[in-house]
């Protein structure tokens, strides 16, 4: 009986060693397929851009009417119209990407985030379908999230007077009981 147990134990150890070796061999082949060789000229998967600078693997395609890279499923027709006006305001180039078109609370009001070829973020605000200069804040209504997403700071005008010296008001924030404004650095 002792001898049979020893044979079974040795057999199990041999089977485990064989399975481990098979796994290691397959795993090293998998690593070679996945990992980029440092001496190779192959491009990293996911980083390919098309002729317009659009990041295809992230779902961006060039829209000729808007003249920028967009994710078509993220924008309705109204948002596409707003994106087109924003791109015209920035002056179109081959590498503008619309990141987000956020519909604000007032009619014809939008906050549009886009990036240029240097990956610099640009934010454009609209009121009544017109691009609004950051210094012109009359009746721009933002949510708290929209304020902070633009690098802004919420200021409760009951407890604080106004924006700091190095800041400008970009709109009113209406998510609170007491009045708030959104201030960003100039």
Residues 27-51: pLDDT tens digits?
Answer: 554 444 444 444 445 555 566 788 8
> Do 89 and 109 share a structural domain?
yes
> Do 125 and 61 share a structural domain?
yes
- Is 35 part of a structural domain of the chain? no
> Do 102 and 161 share a structural domain?
no
Q: How many whole angstroms from its chain centre is CA 55?
A: 12
Which pLDDT belongs to residue 30?
42
> Do 142 and 117 share a structural domain?
no
- Is 19 part of a structural domain of the chain? no
What is the total count of domains within the chain? 2
pLDDT > 90 fraction of the chain, expressed in percent and rounded: 14
Residue 134: which pLDDT band, with cuts at 50, 70 and 90?
low
| Cβ within 8 Å of residue 166, ≥6 positions away | 185, 186
Rounded mean pLDDT of 62-73?
92
- Is 57 part of a structural domain of the chain? yes
Rounded mean pLDDT of 7-34?
72
Query: Is pLDDT of 70 > 90?
Result: yes
Whole-number average pLDDT of the chain? 78
Contact 52, 95 (CB under 8 A): yes
**pLDDT winner (highest mean) among 37-51, 105-119, 131-145:** 105-119
- Is 147 part of a structural domain of the chain? yes
| Rounded Cα–Cα distance for residues 150 and 102 (Å) | 12
- Is 145 part of a structural domain of the chain? yes
**Which residue range is the domain that position 162 belongs to?**
134-186
Residue 76: which pLDDT band, with cuts at 50, 70 and 90?
very high
Residue 184: which pLDDT band, with cuts at 50, 70 and 90?
confident
Question: What's the CA angle centered on 155, arms 153 and 159, to 5 degrees?
Answer: 150
**Assigned token pair, 95:** 């590498």
| Cβ within 8 Å of residue 7, ≥6 positions away | none
- Is 180 part of a structural domain of the chain? yes
Which pLDDT belongs to residue 39?
47
- Is 87 part of a structural domain of the chain? yes
> Do 165 and 124 share a structural domain?
no
Q: Which residue has the higher pLDDT, 118 or 181?
A: 181
Domain boundary among 116, 132, 148: 132
Query: Is pLDDT of 141 > 70?
Result: yes
> Do 59 and 84 share a structural domain?
yes
């Amino acid at each position: 009986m002792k001898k049979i147990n020893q044979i079974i134990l040795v057999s199990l150890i041999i089977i485990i060693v064989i399975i481990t070796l098979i796994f290691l061999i397959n795993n090293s082949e998998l690593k070679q397929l996945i990992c980029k060789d440092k001496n190779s000229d192959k491009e990293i998967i996911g980083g390919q851009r098309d002729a317009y600078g659009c990041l295809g693997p992230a779902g961006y395609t060039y829209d000729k009417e808007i003249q920028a890279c967009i994710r078509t499923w993220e924008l309705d027709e109204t948002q596409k119209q707003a994106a087109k006006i924003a791109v015209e305001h920035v002056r179109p180039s081959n590498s503008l990407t619309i990141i987000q078109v956020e519909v604000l609370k007032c009619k014809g009001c939008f906050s549009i985030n886009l990036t240029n070829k240097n990956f610099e973020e640009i934010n454009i605000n609209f009121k009544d379908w017109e691009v609004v200069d950051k210094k012109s804040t009359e009746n721009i209504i933002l949510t708290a999230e929209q304020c902070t997403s633009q690098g802004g700071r919420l200021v409760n005008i009951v407890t604080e007077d106004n924006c700091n010296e190095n800041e400008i008001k970009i709109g009113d924030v209406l998510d609170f009981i007491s009045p708030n404004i959104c201030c960003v650095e100039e």
